[in-house]
Structure 1
Amino acid sequence: MVRRNGWPESRSRALGTPLQPSVVYVADTPDALDDQYEGRTKGFSYAREGHPNAEVLARAIDALEGAEGGIMLSSGMGAVGACLMALLQAGDHVVAGNQLYGRSLRMLKEDLPRFGIETTFTDPTDAEAFEAALRPDTKLVLVEVVSNPTLRVADMAAITALAKARGITLVVDNTFTTPRAYRPFDHGADVVIHSVTKLLAGHSDVTLGYVAARDPEHRRKIYDCAVTFGFTASPFDCWLGERGLYSFELRFDRAEENARALADALARMEGVTRVLYPTRADHPDHARAKALLGGRGGNMVSFEIAGGRDRTNAFVAAAKNIAFAPTLGDIGTTLSHPPSSSHRALSEEARASLGISEGFFRVSVGVEPIELLIEEFAEAVGAAL
């Protein structure tokens, strides 16, 4: 018999959040549905417009970011896309950091120009260069607090002041930094974006994005755009993401502790020519990182070994237990090589201008015993000599 018989009644409730994959929700009457759509009562109607698992996860991330009304989307790029398409129109100009996530760069360089939206890319660590890039038609600024993969720290105080003084919407992609190290709304940002896929979910089994806006009108526009274009977050992924989020702070703190120790160990290894980690005194933005991030360095470490592709191949081959994957934020340590992955589309000269050589690696440090990590990296560096 094809008849739904409803959810079992119970005086008690589940401790774990139930997974609710239903696409449609049943209303009692047309009047009841009107009440929902017109805001007099709370309810769900169609999963593309929202569902319980997305709302539960969004509220949890809102609490971390000091936000309200956050929206879950199908991916981090879904969050970036919904934000930019909702808040910009033909004739608008964007100023963006020059080391954004690769697909964000592509969207700004190749996709938005088709809709009459121009972007100027500039160094977010240079406040004067950033100010020079602003134009009368600049409507939005997009930055990451810590750049990928060189871990440069943006001059957020100057950028925020410039945006505020000129009435420009400031959008911060907080994926790398996370609210554990930096909360953009506390420092004057207008919109915050996350690839929840990374550190917040933390287990490489979820693809999700999140966006929150301070202005309710911005929030409405982003929501409407996401619903119209179908950037719907999967209930199952939201359910998994919530599970991962409960251990986020524990994972982040342990991975950050490991990253600091690994960076110092790498700096002592023969064959390593450069190490980048924000709390190290030799980091080019050390003073700014200390002030902005409160002494936190995050879980990302970048370093460089001497030599060409033969040595990078030897290093990766010898790091047998470190996953070589162009991602970050897993509970375990992963290794990426920007010249052959995230920055492969750039010329050697363009990569060099960003400080990325053939021997440049980025590490997303996980929660393994630090002694094991140092031993494995030392073995791999030795194999590349």
Structure 2
Amino acid sequence: MAERPLTPRSLPWPESAARPIGAPIQPSVVYAAESPDALDAQYEGRAHGYTYAREGHPNADRLAALISAMERVEGGLVTGSGMAAVAAVLMGLTRAGDHVLGGDQLYGRSLRMMSEELPRLGISTSLADPTDAEAFAAAITPQTRLILIEAVSNPTLRVADLEAIARMARERGILLAVDNTFTTPRALRPFDLGADIVIHSVTKLMAGHSDATLGWVGARDAALLERMRAFAVTLGLTPSPFDCWLAERGLMTFELRHERAEANAARLAEALAGHPGVRRVLYPGRADHPDHARARALLGGRWGNMVSFEIAGGRAAANALVRAAPEIAFAPTLGDVATTLSHPASSSHRALGPEARAALGISEGFFRVSVGVEDPQALISAFGRAIDAAAEAGERA
């Protein structure tokens, strides 16, 4: 008779001559080593293995490898959120006395990190327009250590002069970090254009089902990646194994979802531009976009699934629009198979005052749409009805 195991954990994992097709989830927090010498070998890099999930786990490594392959870079680090990836860059690679230059239309929380968190640590910051290479160059100081821009800004969809900024960063020995969340590797690979660091909020289109909160950061220089990894481990920016598993599953359909959502976005942008209740539409694929020529050169016709538009009427009209479209989820973020609608003034950019939002072109009537894979005509009809309702509310206000 076989001896009863001391605990279920003392049983070895069942072996199989065939491998599973579906990726396994490994939720273990702790990994048991066979001896102190074996543990030394792992910590000293002479053997690969896992020790404590905060320091890494198999599901994170699998997902990191998949995204790194998409970005064509060796290595990569998955974090617990997109902002955790931004923090690993801004705080893991700078120190007191450094200066960080950012694009002036970054995501709201990135702006807040630049304006509030870094300065209190002794890291000075400033913002400049990344669509104007000369203005951006003028904002560089002798202490500038790092530049952070978004290839396509959130939520105004302006297109950075990435090639010019990469060139000036290289000439001056400044690290360039590019947030590639909106563009994704399907439209743009910033490393090919000279970026040192690339960031993704995997939560968004990559995972794509509103059920996983994750970030990714990669670097061309292995030493930079290791510094960010050490920072992330120390601060506990570790991702959940389950979220990593969900995101890996999401990547299986990424290209299909991207293709359909991008096609839907182009059709929706065209319909919105023709609606009398819409003041302006921002979509890089439209000829009236202020950066259309640059977008064509940079993105090669991959315009993405994000559309922004503005209506008249202020908050009353904005409320009416949202209420008239219950089939479109009103959410402060994005990253679902279905279309979601966001109002930056009350969500991502609410920390900015009205004047600061106005300077960015974000009014109470400004909306950002993450277009999904629904039937495009049903989507266009829903937005048409909602904008009509907003116009009526604006007239009554």
Give the TM-score band, short-chain normalised: over 0.9
2:181 corresponds, among 167, 175, 199, to 175
- Using the TM superposition, give the Cα deviation of residue 345 of structure 1 relative to its aligned residue in structure 2, in angstroms: 2.6
What is the RMSD of the two structures over their aligned residues, measured on CA atoms? 1.1
Q: C-alpha distance in 2, partners of 1:271/1:49?
A: 52
Offset from partner CA, 1:310-361 (integer Å, 9 cap, x none): 2111111111100011111211100011122222232322222211222111
Describe the SS at the equivalent of 1:9: coil
Describe the SS at the equivalent of 2:279: strand
Q: Which AA in structure 2 matches 1:153? A: V
Q: C-alpha distance in 1, partners of 2:28/2:152?
A: 38
| 1:8 lines up with 2:25 in the alignment | no
Residue ranges of structure 2 left out of the alignment (5+ in a row) = 1-5, 392-397
2:268 corresponds, among 262, 267, 270, to 262
Q: Compute the TM-score of the two structures, normalised by the length of structure 1.
A: 0.98
Residues 17-32 of structure 1: matches in 2 within 5 Å? 17-32=23-38
Tell me what 2:293 maps to.
Answer: 287
Q: Compute the TM-score of the two structures, normalised by the length of structure 2.
A: 0.95
Q: C-alpha distance in 2, partners of 1:149/1:303?
A: 10
Q: C-alpha distance in 1, partners of 2:232/2:356?
A: 34
Q: Which AA in structure 1 matches 2:270? A: D
Residues 195-274 of structure 1: matches in 2 within 5 Å? 195-274=201-280
Q: C-alpha distance in 2, partners of 1:115/1:344?
A: 24
Q: How many residues align?
A: 385
Tell me what 2:3 maps to.
Answer: none
Q: Which AA in structure 2 matches 1:135? A: T
Q: C-alpha distance in 2, partners of 1:347/1:230?
A: 32
Q: C-alpha distance in 2, partners of 1:77/1:203?
A: 19
- Using the TM superposition, give the Cα deviation of residue 3 of structure 1 relative to its aligned residue in structure 2, in angstroms: 4.5
| 1:98 lines up with 2:109 in the alignment | no
Sort the Cα spacing of 1:240 and 1:118 in 2 relative to 1 into closer, same or farther, 3 A: same
Residues 31-180 of structure 1: matches in 2 within 5 Å? 31-180=37-186
Q: C-alpha distance in 2, partners of 1:308/1:225?
A: 43
Offset from partner CA, 1:115-174 (integer Å, 9 cap, x none): 110011011101111000001110000000111111100000110011000000001111
Q: C-alpha distance in 2, partners of 1:74/1:345?
A: 23
Describe the SS at the equivalent of 2:148: strand
Offset from partner CA, 1:186-217 (integer Å, 9 cap, x none): 11100111111111101111111111111111
- Using the TM superposition, give the Cα deviation of residue 225 of structure 1 relative to its aligned residue in structure 2, in angstroms: 0.7
Describe the SS at the equivalent of 1:212: strand
- Using the TM superposition, give the Cα deviation of residue 40 of structure 1 relative to its aligned residue in structure 2, in angstroms: 2.4
Residue ranges of structure 1 left out of the alignment (5+ in a row) = none
Q: Which AA in structure 2 matches 1:268? A: G
Moved more, 23-32 or 53-62: 23-32
Q: C-alpha distance in 2, partners of 1:78/1:168?
A: 22
- Using the TM superposition, give the Cα deviation of residue 96 of structure 1 relative to its aligned residue in structure 2, in angstroms: 0.2
Tell me what 2:394 maps to.
Answer: none
Describe the SS at the equivalent of 1:146: coil
Describe the SS at the equivalent of 2:92: helix
Describe the SS at the equivalent of 1:239: helix
Describe the SS at the equivalent of 2:307: strand
Q: Which AA in structure 1 matches 2:216? A: Y
